[in-house]
Structure 1
């Protein structure tokens, strides 16, 4: 079962790394223009706009691209602590994507990839938590050989 989750983590990390790279280095001019137009719309409904911050669409695209690329690589290839951190960043990013698509009133079929990615990220996080709980549980189950202090005194007095 652990092998399945390792494979899922590597595949999901690779997916995010590729989507981040596509945002940073589009393969064609029409794709680049379409991506720019999308991020102009995304910047219009940016969640922090309520607090007076609206990002530049090009900087927004670059930031999301680098975040996806680096977090995806760390999720796929990094040590466990960096995998957890990248999972957190990607989870927040997917929540932001779903919020953005909902604010733009996009159809459900547009939101499905972000929802699936969010679900898979949460699944990986839950499985990682269960593995850590099992490790801690193994250490806690060992019984103490030492008696309680009052039991030691009683037994020494009886000798």
Structure 2
């Protein structure tokens, strides 16, 4: 069963590395894809619960911060040691929960939740498996 979880960690890590790279590198991605992601993050920044704490993040900075967090966490999830994989699973789970919250607040169509919910389910499964092993 361990090869299955190792494969899931590798694939999910590569997925988050790719999505993170799209967010922070506008010169290496097609302009159309970057603009779509940028527009989505602009909308998500409006409903983030950080405003309740009195912090209004700049959407451009938020795009770069989330991109780097996803990229580094994805890298650690795919190729890091077990303890760092667990930390990256927690960070990616929190980012995914923030995305899901934002999609719910924006009342996006249910079909747009599918990738987020799928990633959240796999991350939860990886976290539960790591807790069982450690």
Is the 2:21–2:71 Cα contact (8 Å) retained in structure 1?
A: yes
Q: CA RMSD for the aligned pairs?
A: 1.0
TM-score by length of 1: 0.80
Structure with higher Rg: it is 1
In the other structure, the counterpart of 2:114 is 112
Tell me the residue number matched to 1:47: 49
After superposition, the C-alpha distances for 1:122-147 in whole angstroms (9 at most, x for unaligned) are 00011111122xxxxxxxxxxxxxxx
Q: Structure 1: any 5+ residue segments left out of the alignment?
A: 133-159
Confirm or deny: 8 A CA contact 2:76 2:85 kept in the other structure. yes
Q: Do residues 20 (structure 1) and 20 (structure 2) align?
A: yes
Larger RCO, structure (CA 8 Å, separation 6 or more):
2
3-state SS, counterpart of residue 120 of structure 1: helix
Is there any run of 5+ residues in structure 2 with no aligned partner, and where?
A: none
For normalisation by structure 2, the TM-score amounts to: 0.94
Selected match of 2:74 from 72, 90, 93:
72
